[in-house]
Amino acid sequence: MPAFVSDADAMALALEQARAAGARGDVPVGAVVVHDGQIIAQAGNERELRHDPTAHAEVLALQAAAEVLGTWRLTGATLVVTLEPCPMCAGALLAARVQRVVFGAANTENGSCGTLYNLCVDPRLNHEVEVVHGVEAAASTALLGEFFATRRL
Amino acid sequence: MPAFVSDADAMALALEQARAAGARGDVPVGAVVVHDGQIIAQAGNERELRHDPTAHAEVLALQAAAEVLGTWRLTGATLVVTLEPCPMCAGALLAARVQRVVFGAANTENGSCGTLYNLCVDPRLNHEVEVVHGVEAAASTALLGEFFATRRL
């Protein structure tokens, strides 16, 4: 059995997914799902590729993880993502009963795990998600910066 | 060309989708997307059917609408749904740049279009969605009540 995957290892893979997304014209964001210490799913943003407003990296990674586990309840899972989730993706973490989210860069536009909202921690809701932030934030920000600089030329 | 579809007509169809979802063991919620006065997509909740935490009626209907229009930007579209959207689904409305959401029953558990949050109306975000509530609310509530009463026997 492979060694236990650290948050840093998972983030390195999420950054690879983000780079691949950017290379095909999607905003470079990548996500990985870790369960029982192993990576069980990974995805990059495919909004442009699929013409699908919901095809953010987090949603695709959660869908893939649910398929692997055969249940929509991703109890005990950690989602590692390069950019702080938007409202839809933070809501998807709740819907999937994810245990932890680890993100890189803060999302000043619509970040919903601490920046504009913290949907992950609200005692009125039926689930809470532990939030870890700032893992490889500079690498994530650099990828996004390069992407938008190129597109605005 | 068929006549312009009213919110009430669209809600009647959303209620049919909700009933079909309940009949197959999913929480009975249904959604319809109206664009240019016509119904272009409809879906019921398929969370249990697909074992997918993101397969709420709203997400499936938005995905289907994007496929019909060939773009993730559902500008000008109205989503009609039997129950007030959760954080994920309210976020999906923003992500898809939907113009209006019309819902039936208020969602006291995690409603995010006015009850616990109003993600649809926040000047900090890059998009706002007009919210209409209470259309056929009693019919939606009755369906949900019957569903949970049966399952708790």
Q: What is the C-alpha separation between B145 and B153, in angstroms, rounded? A: 12
A75-115 pLDDT tens trace: 999 999 999 999 999 999 999 999 999 999 999 999 999 99
pLDDT of residue B94: 98
pLDDT of residue B3: 72
pLDDT of residue A3: 72
What value does the mean pLDDT take over residues B9-14? Answer: 98
Question: What is the tally of helices (H) and strands (E) in chain B?
Answer: 5, 5
Residues of B in contact with A86 (CB under 8 A): 91, 94-95
pLDDT of residue B60: 98
B72-123 pLDDT tens trace: 999 999 999 999 999 999 999 999 999 999 999 999 999 999 999 999 999 9
pLDDT of residue B151: 83
| Amino acid residing at B143 | L
Closest to B63 (Cβ–Cβ): which among A52, A66, A74?
A: A52
Rounded to the nearest integer, the mean pLDDT of chain A is: 96
DSSP state of B30: E
Written as six digits, the tokens of B55 are 């397969």
* A57-69 helix and A87-95 helix, angle to the nearest 10 degrees: 10
Asked if residue B2 has pLDDT above 60, the reply is: no
- Asked if B88 and A86 come within 8 Å (Cβ–Cβ), the reply is no
What value does the mean pLDDT take over residues B7-15? Answer: 98
- For chain A, positions 24-83, list CB contacts with chain B under 8 A: 47-48, 50-56, 59, 62-63, 66-67, 70-74
Asked if residue B25 has pLDDT above 60, the reply is: yes
ipTM, 2 dp: 0.96
Half-sphere exposure of A56 (CA within 13 A, CB side): 24
- Residue of B46, B58, B84, B136 marked catalytic: B58
Counting residues of chain A whose pLDDT is more than 70, the rounded percentage is 98
Asked if residue B1 has pLDDT above 70, the reply is: no
Q: Is A84 a catalytic residue?
A: no
Rounded to the nearest integer, the mean pLDDT of chain B is: 96
pLDDT of residue B34: 98
Q: What is the C-alpha separation between B87 and B105, in angstroms, rounded? A: 16
Closest-approach residue (CA) in chain A for B125:
A110
C-alpha pair distances (Å), B98 with each of A120, B35, B65, B79, B87? 24, 10, 11, 7, 15
- Residue of A16, A46, A58, A130 marked catalytic: A58
With CA atoms as reference, report the closest residue to A21 among A31, A30, A12, A33: A30
- HEC-encoded secondary structure of B73-133: CCCCCEEEEEECCCHHHHHHHHHCCCCEEEEEECCCCCCCECCCCECCCCCCCCCCCEEEE
* Residues B104, B139 contacting (CB under 8 angstroms): yes
Closest to A91 (Cβ–Cβ): which among B52, B91, B96?
A: B91
Query: What residues contact B59, with CB distance under 8 A and at least 6 apart?
Result: A54, B88, B89, B92
pLDDT of residue A28: 98
Q: What is the C-alpha separation between A112 and A106, in angstroms, rounded? A: 9
- B43: β partners: B31
A119 close contact with B: CB closer than 8 A:
yes
| C-alpha B112: how far from chain center | 12
Q: How confident is the model at residue A153 (pLDDT cuts 50, 70, 90)?
A: low
B59-69 pLDDT tens trace: 999 999 999 99
| Residue B74 burial by Cβ neighbours in a 10 Å radius (0-12, 13-18, 19+) | buried
B109 close contact with A: CB closer than 8 A:
yes
Asked if residue B153 has pLDDT above 80, the reply is: no
